[in-house]
Structure 1
């Protein structure tokens, strides 16, 4: 299992980076392709590209950590913090009435699940870090 986790982390990172590349290369297509995004506000090319850069950075960090064990705890934890903050923000929007609770299951695969995966990978890297 210890060999499989870095491979899975690398694939996870590649997926995050691919999402970011899609956001940079074709922000309008991304905006209309991802379920629920159009209900969060008007299309904003600049904002989507900013977030795309974040996804590329975080994804690259998971890929890098997959091949550089000494760096993974810090890099993966940093990515997990941002992804978790993003997920918590979605929950906050429901809590204060900006969105209804029906958005949480819709957003789960693209928002909450990546945060949970990142946290799990960070915990795994902490438990397997050379001390």
Structure 2
């Protein structure tokens, strides 16, 4: 179950990253909570797309080689958690609405929390989280 969920999150992050890299304008227009954050900047969207791709690759590495990929998966999860904190901060500072924040909960915060949960070593488990079935 954890392995399948790790693959699912990795694929979703990868698709999002590829869309940001290859179709930045389309991606910008399709995600409703993005345009209110500022004017479209294709370089910035592609930069973030690379971060999403790297996070995807880290999770894939973790699934394929749990011992060697664990640190990369945790680092990727921490990056996504930090990104989530920015979204919380924007809400608290009044730079976004509750409606957009609720969308971000599904699109940004939930995947970040899932990544951290999937990558974090389990107490007393000899196998890494992604290798558990």
Counterpart of 1:102 in 2: which secondary structure?
helix
Give the aligned CA root-mean-square deviation in angstroms: 1.6
Task: Give the structure 2 partner of residue 63 of structure 1.
Answer: 60
**How many aligned residue pairs are there?**
126
Superposed structure 1 runs of 4+ greater than 6 Å apart: none
Give the whole-Å Cα distance in 2 for the aligned partners of 1:104 and 1:119.
Answer: 20
Match of 1:38 among 18, 32, 35: 35
- Normalised by the length of structure 1, the TM-score is 0.88
Please report the TM-score for the alignment, with normalisation by the length of structure 2: 0.87
Structure 2 stretches lacking a partner, 5+ long: 129-133
The correspondence for 1:19, drawn from 3, 16, 22, is 16
Q: CA deviation at 1:44?
A: 0.3
Equivalences for 1:1-131 in 2 at 5 Å? Answer: 4-123=1-120, 126-127=121-122, 128=125
Q: Higher RCO, 1 or 2 (CA under 8 Å, sep at least 6)?
A: 2
